[in-house]
Amino acid sequence: MTDIGCALLAGQVAAGARAIRWLDDQDPRGREVLREIFPHTGRAHLVGITGPPGAGKSTLVDALIGEQRARGRRVGVIAVDPSSPFTGGAILGDRVRMQRHALDEGVFVRSMGTRGQAGGLSRSTYDACLVLDAMGYDVVLVETVGVGQDEIDIVSLAHTTVIVMVPGLGDEVQAIKAGLLEVGDVFLLNKADRDGVEQVGRELELMLHLRGQDGEAAAWRPPLLRMVATRGEGTGAAVDALEAHAAHLRASGQYQRQAGLRSYHQFTATLREAATRRLLERALRHSATAALVADVHDLKVDPYSAAEALLAQTEL
Amino acid sequence: MTDIGCALLAGQVAAGARAIRWLDDQDPRGREVLREIFPHTGRAHLVGITGPPGAGKSTLVDALIGEQRARGRRVGVIAVDPSSPFTGGAILGDRVRMQRHALDEGVFVRSMGTRGQAGGLSRSTYDACLVLDAMGYDVVLVETVGVGQDEIDIVSLAHTTVIVMVPGLGDEVQAIKAGLLEVGDVFLLNKADRDGVEQVGRELELMLHLRGQDGEAAAWRPPLLRMVATRGEGTGAAVDALEAHAAHLRASGQYQRQAGLRSYHQFTATLREAATRRLLERALRHSATAALVADVHDLKVDPYSAAEALLAQTEL
């Protein structure tokens, strides 16, 4: 085993940070460390947290960290930030959380930004989860900003998906809820001291009730909990719900299966990128297929017919 | 040419709607129609519009439609809605717009939802743009809800990318701006009668000024325009900016190149999905590779090592 792999499994923060950086940079040493630590993953409870901008997710995550620490758990946090497709860096700082938890060795916060490539964020998040898991964090919170398909994909691969809602964010946010509703395991209605909370609460309860109709008998019924994260209200109940969901998954064997699904998802994503790259590289090496690729650029052939023609010439 | 292809090129709405439905359903007839109409595309000005939830995009798009109609243009609108990964349908209605423009033959509104597959939304949107383009709409507005990477990918493939901002949406939205800032060609600051508009306006102007530093001499300088879409204020200037940007792209030859880029993007996306599907199908047909895939599910091998091992056994 490499020194970094050993140090990482011993929970050393510097080793974990370096491994995540290598993996992010697609440095081959990252992949070697990942291979070493992989058999030591699968223990941490992965919790995905998403919701619309303005829902107060950072404050809420901060409150959840505090509560988990009070219960003696070590907590890893991955803050998935929107970022520029050009500069590639994460742009949201972890100022609030870092100030409060900076000196706490039981908390490790890491921001991830997109790297401008399709699936890059999903991959970086997956890798970082494995690293924090292997480092021995009991809980890994994956917080995403925004509510697009990317965010849903990322959080729905966690063991437990938490959806944060707030009163009064307008029609579009109401609409977004429907997409989030089906992936949520725990719903937190934040800013519950605000006007409109009763109406949003009733709507969500109705929608969750309707969703509950088609589940099996032993299915999990997603709770809807009210919070005022700025004052820490409802935090204990929220962490109780996370633990109840983890216990539910363990009892049904789904906890371990979820890790297999995540791994398979990453496997197919990796195949997808590598196969496409090789296919295009090979196409450009031969004049007939290179001409076809040029025709796509010149709009002489539609993209689907061109893809069909190229695939017909491969062994696949 | 098929009857549907003919009717579509003649601008018949029913034919366009049917072609879009076929393409959405991956019905082979859709692909045939697309091949027929493809040489008749490339004329429409594609405008992508995005911004955070609550920015009033629907009302703003409604105002832009009205102004374009007043200038005698036929307008296609594709409303890209977030939707459930399970039910697959679009969930936002087009109530407001439909009420106002329902009887106007110069306006065609179509909502697209995700189909639960990676890249499905991007593909459906691309196909629908080609159909509306071939039907003879002068302008196609592609409106997305949300500001994730998916939305940025979709709108940044348009000729002109419009970013809608509003005052007072909190820190997360401020952060999101940085990602949007680099893809925007025209910035519309909506709800400009609200408190905080001066501060947001100054911030955006500073950020746009900084962004402008690294451009070439003949580069487009993205304008920042104030609007109150609910009262129609600023709509004329906004449409002027869209037209100025289209003229800029035409003068530099970029207008046509953008269509080639879109087509190439769709070509590689199609290759990616098809190649992965074939690769996995073949892997499952042979016992050694099928065992490898099972090992991924059982966490006996990490996903990257497994992908590498599988690719090593292909002709690619």
Sheet holding B186-189, edge to edge: B107-112, B75-80, B139-144, B45-50, B160-165, B186-189, B224-226
CB-CB: which of B86, B149, B170 is closest to A54?
B170
Q: What is the Cα A165 distance to its own chain's centre? A: 18
Shortest distance between the Cα of B88 and any Cα of chain A, in A, equals 9
Which residue's entry shows tokens 């929220």? A238
Name the residue among B84, B147, B275 with its Cβ closest to that of A275: B275
Contact between A153 and A123 under an 8 Å Cβ cutoff? The reply is no
Judging contacts by C-beta atoms under 8 Å, the chain B residues touching residue A35 are: 302, 304-305
Mapped onto helix, strand or coil, the DSSP state of residue B302 is coil
Give the pLDDT of residue A84.
Answer: 36
Q: Token pair for residue A141?
A: 């919170």
List the single residue in A with minimal CA-CA distance to B156.
A85
Handedness of CA B235, B241, B247, B253 (dihedral sign): negative
Please report the pLDDT score of residue B136 as a whole number: 97
| Residue B94 confidence class, pLDDT cut points 50, 70, 90 | very low
- pLDDT tier for residue B314 given thresholds of 50, 70 and 90: confident
Question: Considering only alpha carbons, which residue of chain A is nearest residue B116?
Answer: A149
Percentage of residues in chain B having pLDDT higher than 70: 84
Determine the Cα–Cα distance for residues A298 and A275; give it in Å rounded to an integer.
24
pLDDT of residue B88: 33
Beta bridge partners of B141: B47, B77
Residues recorded for chain B: 316
Q: Is B316 helix (H, G, I), strand (E, B) or coil?
A: coil
Cβ proximity of A34 and A4 under 8 Å: no
Distance, CA of A163 to CA of B294 (rounded, Å): 32
Question: Of B104 and A4, which is predicted with more confidence?
Answer: A4
pLDDT value at B179 more than 90:
no
B292 neighbors A258 (Cβ within 8 angstroms): no
* pLDDT band at B124; cut points 50, 70, 90: confident
**Structure token pair of residue A121:** 């964020």
Write down the pLDDT at residue B176.
58
A161 or B117, which is more confident?
A161
Residue A53 and residue A169: Cα distance in Å, rounded? 9
Query: What average pLDDT does the structure give for chain B?
Result: 85
Least Cα separation, residue B188 to chain A (angstroms): 18
- Specify the pLDDT at position A88: 33
| Cross-strand pairs, A78 | A110, A142
Evaluate if residue B260 carries a pLDDT over 90.
yes
Query: Taking CB atoms and an 8 Å limit, are B306 and A280 in contact across chains?
Result: no
d(CA A170, CA B110): 22
- Measured distance CA(A110)–CA(A116) in Å, rounded: 19
Find the length of chain A: 316
Identify the segments of chain A with pLDDT beneath 50: 83-98, 116
Rounded Cα distance between B99 and B290, Å, is 55
Q: Which residue does chain A place closest to B121, by CA atoms?
A: A149
What is the rounded (10 degree) CA torsion for A163, A168, A169, A173?
A: 60
Mean pLDDT of B77-87: 60
Q: Do B149 and A270 touch (CB under 8 A)?
A: no
Q: Which helix (H) or strand (E) element contains residue B76?
A: strand B75-80
In whole angstroms, give the CA distance from residue A143 to residue A53: 12
Kindly report whether the global pTM for this prediction surpasses the value 0.90.
no
Best B129, B149, B182 residue to mutate vs chain A (most A CBs within 10 Å): B149
- Reported as a single tens digit per residue, the pLDDT across B210-244 is 776 555 556 898 999 999 999 999 999 999 999 99
Q: Least CB-CB distance to B172: which of A34, A54, A310?
A: A54
Position B216 scores a pLDDT of 55
Please answer yes or no on whether A272 and B271 come within 8 Å at the CB atom: no
B314: which chain A residues are within 8 Å (Cβ-Cβ)?
A: 275, 315-316
ipTM of the complex: 0.84
pLDDT of residue A29: 96
Closest residue to A296, CB basis, from B148, B263, B302: B263
Contact: A307, B270; criterion CB under 8 Å: yes
Cβ contacts (< 8 Å) between A153 and chain B: which residues?
118
Q: A264 vs B315: CB contact, 8 Å cut-off?
A: no
Largest Cα span, chain A: 67
Q: Hey, what are B55's tokens? A: 């920015």
Give the whole-angstrom CA distance, residue A43 versus residue B37: 54
Task: Count the Cβ atoms, other than its own, within 10 Å of residue B271.
Answer: 23
Distance from CA of B71 to the nearest CA of A (A): 29
Specify which residues B165 forms β-bridges with. Answer: B189
What confidence tens digit (pLDDT) does each residue in A3-27 have? 999 999 999 999 999 999 999 888 9
Alpha carbon A151 to its chain's center:
7
